[in-house]
Amino acid sequence: MPYLDLPGIRLHHEDAGAGPALLFVHGWGTSGRVWQSCLPDLVRDHRVITLDWRGCGRSDHPADGNTIAGVTADLAAVLETLDVRPTVVGSSIGGIFATELALARPELVKAVVAVDSPGYWPRTGMRDQVHDLRKRLVDDRVGTLAEWVPGWFGPAAAPGLADWTLRQLLDSGVYIDELFTECTTYDPRPGLADLTVPITYLHGELDAQIPLEVPRSCAAVTPGARVHVLAGCGHVPHQENPRAFTAALRTITA
């Protein structure tokens, strides 16, 4: 069944293939569809689970629970329901959810791959931009997203990706905007020394949303962490260059 009925929430997921398990967690406001170009290769020898987290895509869009802790708890419930211990691959804020899940419930997670994540902002000016973004989303959601989304992609990305991403964002719920406020004060580094689950930061070289200094600073305080940079990619390398992304993921999880 494509839906999981969990306490207080109904989440859309897709589950295909057999072998070592991968759980893909998308970024803010998109959906499990962002991984689709990577799936045909991976399902040949992996069990691949994609999820629309609360407020996004085909899942419920509730007014509550739209917090890092709320989504992380949903992920734990998904893994317990499916009885699987996967490598959790999280994009952007999805990487925050994956990291927090591994910190809170390491018995549920084999490894973490944080893709252009975590979304903490090390400089005051970046935090101010996020606060401003949330205000502008109230005044002109369509115009603000149309202006913002093209900057997610590197120069080699297919032109239609920004338009397709914008449609997904507009289909998602407005209550997920709460996450922006929480993320302006989020900093995972104090807890990363206690992370017992292997983590790799897979990052686009040209990411203009989360600079490379972020994963590098996280890896520096995390035992055994690695940083893998994808040349020529921006914030969503799995969409911009799915072949290179899938090859890198295979190397990381081998």
**Tens digits of per-residue pLDDT, 80-130?**
999 999 999 999 999 999 999 999 999 999 999 999 998 776 665 677 888
**Tens digits of per-residue pLDDT, 10-49?**
999 999 999 999 999 999 999 999 999 999 999 999 999 9
Strand partners for 137: none
What's the distance, Cα to Cα, between the start and end of the chain in Å? 29
Helix (H) or strand (E) holding 90, with range, is strand 87-91
Q: What SS3 class is residue 227? A: strand
Is the preceding omega at residue 62 within 30 degrees of 0, hence cis? no
Q: Which domains does the chain have, with CATH numbers?
A: 3-253 (3.40.50.1820)
Whether 98 and 122 have beta carbons less than 8 Å apart is answered as no
Task: Tally helices (H) and strands (E) across the chain.
Answer: 11, 8
